[in-house]
Each structure stands twice: as structure tokens, then as C-alpha cells.
């Protein structure tokens, strides 16, 4: 299994998504956006934690078997190389799942996992900063 994301500030929503993803098979690979990739997607104030720290935190989770980084805006090229049997994304990305075509063409399955309500790195940061 394979999933990806920024995982900038690890929270219970991330942990639960990764646990659900891991329950779908024997091995879970998590691809993290590099720091440069996160900045392009989220803006100059992100990531909050450097890629090495994010990888260390993710690897500490029982659900995660391996972590890799990708520099591109999406992990499409990496997914095409790995060709996982199952590609998993949070349901908030159901409109666009990078690597879907490659995985399905190779006979793999693409699935989404419902997000835990109330958990979002952006919302947590806004709460900490006292912003509405």
C-alpha cells in the first residue's frame, strides 16, 4: 500500500488515516512532500517541521513501514515507479489522485479513506495563533 501527503504537523487525523491504510495490507509506504514541495503548495510559512523531522515522526508510527520523500508537486512519477497494489488517499483528494491511472493500468486498486472531522493542520495552526 502507498499513500502520500505533507504530514506537516502530525495529528490524530493523520494517525487514523495511516492506521486505516495499513489495515488494508501487509506494508505501508508513506511518501512525504519535500520541504520545497510543501512550500510551493502551502506557502512560504510552511512546512512547520522540516522533512527529516516529519519522516522521523511518521516512521515512529506502527502503521508506517517505510517513508520516502518526493520533490515534485505530486508523487505521480514515484507511484509509477513503485506501482503499489493499493493507492490510498484521504477523501478530500477524491477529485484528483495522482498516480491513479498508473496504478489502475497495472491492475492495482485506488481507494479513499474518510477524514476524521475536526482535524486539519491549517485549522490547528490557526487555533494556536488565535485566528478565526
Q: pLDDT per position in the chain (132 positions), as tens?
A: 999 999 998 999 999 999 999 999 999 999 999 999 999 999 999 999 999 999 999 999 999 999 999 999 999 999 999 999 999 999 888 889 999 999 999 999 999 999 888 788 778 887 888 865
Integer Cα distance of 14 and 119 in angstroms: 8
Cell numbers linked to 80: 509509477
State the CB neighbour count (10 A cutoff) for residue 120: 16
State the CB neighbour count (10 A cutoff) for residue 110: 19
- What is the CATH number assigned to the segment(s) 2-128? 3.40.50.620
Instruction: Show me where the domains of the chain are located.
Output: 2-128
Integer Cα distance of 91 and 13 in angstroms: 12
Strand ranges in 23-77 using DSSP code E only, listed in sequence order: 29-33, 66-70
Q: List all residues 6 or more positions away from 132 whose beta carbon is below 8 Å from its beta carbon.
A: 126
Residue 112, beta-bridge partner list:
89
Amino acid at each position: 500500500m502507498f499513500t502520500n501527503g505533507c504530514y506537516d504537523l502530525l495529528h490524530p487525523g493523520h494517525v487514523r488515516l495511516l492506521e486505516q491504510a495499513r489495515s488494508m495490507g501487509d506494508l505501508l509506504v508513506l511518501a512525504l512532500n519535500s520541504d520545497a514541495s510543501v512550500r510551493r503548495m502551502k506557502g512560504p510559512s510552511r512546512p512547520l517541521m522540516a522533512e527529516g523531522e516529519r519522516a522521523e515522526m511518521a516512521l515512529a508510527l506502527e502503521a508506517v513501514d517505510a517513508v520516502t520523500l518526493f520533490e515534485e508537486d505530486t508523487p505521480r512519477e514515484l507511484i509509477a515507479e513503485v506501482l503499489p497494489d493499493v493507492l490510498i488517499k484521504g477523501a478530500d483528494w477524491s477529485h484528483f489522485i495522482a498516480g491513479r491511472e498508473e496504478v489502475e493500468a497495472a491492475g492495482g486498486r485506488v481507494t479513499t479513506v474518510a477524514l476524521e472531522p475536526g482535524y486539519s493542520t491549517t485549522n490547528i495552526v490557526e487555533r494556536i495563533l488565535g485566528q478565526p
